[in-house]
Amino acid sequence: MKIIIHGGFFSESDQSHEVKVAKQNSLKEIATKGFEFLQNHSAEETVVYTVSLLEDDPLFNAGIGSQIQSDGKIRMSASLMNGETQKFSGVINIENVKNPIKVAQVLMKEQDRVLGGEGAKKYALEHGFEDFSTEIPQRRKEYEAKLKNGGKGTVGCVALDNNGKLAAATSTGGKGFEIVGRISDSATVAGNFANQHCAVSCTGVGEDIVSNATAAKIVTRVSDGMSIEKAFEKTFQELKEIDGFAGAIAIDQSGNFFHQDSYPTMVFASFDGIDFEVFD
From 24, 34, 43, select the one nearest 199 (Cα to Cα).
43
Across the range 75-94, mean pLDDT stands at 98
214 annotated binding-site participant: no
Conformation bin of residue 97: beta by default, left when phi > 0, alpha when psi is -120 to 50: beta
Residue 206 in marked binding region: yes
The backbone torsions φ and ψ at residue 29, rounded to the nearest 5 degrees and listed phi first, read -65, -45
Residue 143 has pLDDT above 70, yes or no: no
Instruction: State yes or no: 204 annotated in a binding site.
Output: yes
Residue 273, annotated as binding a ligand: no
For the chain, the average pLDDT equals 93
- Active-site pick, 46, 154, 214, 235: 154
pLDDT at position 149, please? 46
**Does 205 carry a binding-site annotation?**
yes
How many residues are listed for the chain in this entry?
280
Q: Residue range 221-244: average pLDDT?
A: 98
Q: How confident is the model at residue 12 (pLDDT cuts 50, 70, 90)?
A: low
pLDDT digits (tens, 9 = 90+) for 198-228: 999 999 999 999 999 999 999 999 999 999 9
Per-residue pLDDT averaged across 49-73, rounded? 94
- 2-278 CATH fold: Glutamine Phosphoribosylpyrophosphate, subunit 1, domain 1 (3.60.20)
Q: Does the annotation mark 50 as catalytic?
A: no
Q: What is the pLDDT of residue 83?
A: 98
Q: Is the pLDDT of residue 263 over 70?
A: yes
pLDDT bin (cut points 50, 70, 90) of residue 144 is low
User: Which pLDDT score, from 0 to 100, does residue 150 have?
Assistant: 44
Q: Is 90 annotated as a binding residue?
A: no
Q: Mean per-residue pLDDT for 69-82?
A: 94
